[in-house]
Chain A
Amino acid sequence: MKKFLRRKSTIAFAMALPLILIIVLLVLYPALYSIHMATLNKSMEHFVGLENFAFLFTRETFWMVVRQSVVFAVSAVVFKALIGFCVAHFVHNIPVKGQRKWRGMLLVPWVIPPAMSTLVWLWLFDPSYSAFNWTFEHIGMAPVNWLGSPNWARFAVILVNVWVGAPFFMIMYLAALKSVPEQLYEAAAIDGANWWQKLWYITLPMMRNIIAITVLFSLIVTFANFDIVRVLTSGGPVDQTHVFATWAFKVGIEGSDLPLGAAVSLFMFPILAVAAIFILRDISRRGTET
């Protein structure tokens, strides 16, 4: 027994046990419970297997939510990555002395709780009192129905998500940029490489893993986004900005159909799992390259 307790693996397990317990309690149990819930009928009285999923597949609104979630997540992540990449380069080129101030300022949108910052955006887009429209009117432009027109409403929720999330990409890419050895650029310059060639053949390959990880992480977070859509549009007009999480809340909590709400939110899982498998496989393959 003494020997068993002295084993490195036993000590390691004991030290990891609190974390394992937390994961079991806060991640595994809720996940299994929501899977269980998704297999119950509306009144949660009997097991219906995959009927809730089959039912969802027959609903026009559900497929609209699937399309919107994909458009929302993919476009937001692409813009966040592009903006983050560009801004990271700008910040990287600022002299070290003033860089910290810029980094701090640029991180502000990311550190403010999104529900709060989205409220400010709501006032900017407000149907009747939009600050943007007030400005437009003063420069002779027609007001925009920001949240009342489906396309503008989609644009608005994506824009706010990009605003909130781009600093995360920026800081990650900045860290990656700082880890690229300067000698590589010097060698490339000696070989006569222009800025594009340096970017394409040095910067991007050196940042590839961090780009993949941030994209995956952001994709998961953006797919599961709730607060921005909830505060800004509540899924409207006519459900045309709903994403999985807001639709699940609408159906599950407001509509008191917890099993269907659970089924909607679980639908995200296979989509994200497929994305995660591909991205992580790519990272791991490159990690083993010699």
Chain B
Amino acid sequence: MVTRKFTRRRFLKTTAAASAAVGLTSYVRTSHAAGKLELGFWDHWVPGANDVLTKLCNEWAAKEKVEIKIDYIPSQGQKNLLTIAAEAQAKAGHDMLALPTWWPADKAKDLEPVDDVMKVLFANNGAVSPLIEYLGRVEGRWIAIPATPGSQIKGPCGRIDLLKQHAGLDVSKMYPAGAAPDNALSESWTWDAFLAAAEKCHKAGVPFGIGLGQTADSVDSMGALFGSFGAELIDAKGNITVKSDAVKQVLEYMKKLVPVLPPDVFAWDDASNNKWLISGKGALIMNPPSAWAVAKRDNPKVAEQLWTFPAPRGPKGRFQPYLPYFWGIWKFSQNKAAAKSLMHHISERSAVEKMVAASQGYDIPAFAKLNDFKTWADEGPPKGTLYHYPPKPGQILSIAGFPAPPKIAAQIYTQAIMTKLVAKCTQGGESIDKAIGWAASELQGFMRV
């Protein structure tokens, strides 16, 4: 155990500016904020992104004389979920851990409230979307802070050339680089327009690649579609509402869309849609810019034609599939004050800007004032391809399962109820009513506490 103390005086000095304004110092009470900090961060897929986070942490550690140990935990094979489950059981492990979307709410009773940190971050970085609050705040208390690394939006990423040629859709004009969207064109970018474009591209031999498997990309796409039609499976009070006209409407819509998608989309995982686009086989997928980033390396000709833009609008609005990450501090941590100080440090605007740049624009900060970095305007080719990737006013950040209580919604998400519903009444040939009946029974099973 390191004996150097993370003293109150040192902490006051280093966080003076922010704390003077909003009382950050209130959570540094004793000299317990000292010694060692073990950190478990998400292992970023972008080469070099981890290094930037490590550098930021080391800077902070050197300044505060805290010894840190960082583990980058991959999400492949759900290694991060296994780590979270094991540490929650053992009440031992890292002090601070990256928690995927649903896990703050799930592990709320084991996590240290971080209202004091959020208070500072709100003051410095602006507000967060209601979805962040839904996922990170439990019973009126923030139990994790939104993390930049790993947080992503999964709007469409389409081929400028193919969409223009086959569907008459000029996406770079609809969402131009460095400028506001074209009002008329973006207003007409609806799910009906999406279907019409998908049909034309299918006819031209470059179908849209919308996965209908059971992994995150597939579930997120369907979550946005269901949300934009107002199709809730379970409402905020926990009532099963799947037997609704809105759900039927979505399923009717998918009955038209599925025949123009590749026939194997029911087996797609999170890599399938990327491969589909990068290989040049398809005109559009719904994904963060990882497909574009890989295409830059593997198929630059395709990368030059890729454009990321918001999801289509439905009757209830433009729902953007959003998958945020969080950072939480275990209650068993021996160094909570230091962990909170680090949280503050790596959530500062300058730190977040570096992380976004290192991720090539992939990471999306949760705070309103942090969505204007030049990375998104500058990244290319084509230049400005990511300009409309971060959320803009008028868009609704959404997730499959919302607005059900998070622990129930997490089951809807994990069990991919939405994509299974679609699969049952399309590939499976079941009637919509029968598929909805099946879903109602599954949802009933998620009510366990």
Contact = CB atoms under 8 A, between A and B. Distances in A.
Interface of A: 41-43, 55, 58-61, 127-129, 145-148, 153, 233-239, 249-250, 253-258, 260
A59 B442 CA distance: 8
23 contacts: A41-B448, A43-B449, A55-B448, A60-B438, A127-B272, A128-B281, A129-B275, A129-B279, A145-B263, A145-B264, A147-B264, A147-B267, A148-B427, A153-B267, A234-B214, A236-B266, A237-B213, A237-B423, A237-B427, A238-B427, A256-B81, A256-B85, A256-B410
A238 B415 contact: no
A61 B442 contact: yes
Interface residue SS majority, chain A: loop
A128 B410 contact: no
Interface of B: 78, 81-82, 85, 89, 102-103, 106, 109, 213-215, 262-269, 272, 275-276, 279, 281, 410-411, 414-415, 420, 423-424, 427-428, 438, 441-442, 445, 448-449
Given A42-B448, A42-B449, A234-B269, A250 B263 contact: no
A3 B76 CA distance: 58
B414 A250 contact: yes
Interface residue SS majority, chain B: helix
A224 B275 CA distance: 32
B78 A253 contact: yes
B81 A253 contact: yes
A148 B279 CA distance: 20
Contacts, number: 93
A249 B415 CA distance: 12
Nearest to A254: B414
Nearest to B428: A238
Contact of A253 (B82, B265, B411): B82
A58 B444 CA distance: 11
A254 B263 contact: no
Among all A-B residue pairs, the 7 with the closest Cβ atoms? A127-B264, A148-B267, A147-B267, A148-B264, A237-B266, A127-B267, A255-B414
A182 B276 CA distance: 59
A66 to B, nearest CB: 16
B435 to A, nearest CB: 10
Nearest to B211: A127
B426 to A, nearest CB: 11
A234 B81 CA distance: 16
A128 B262 contact: yes
Contacts of A237: 213-214, 266-267, 423, 427
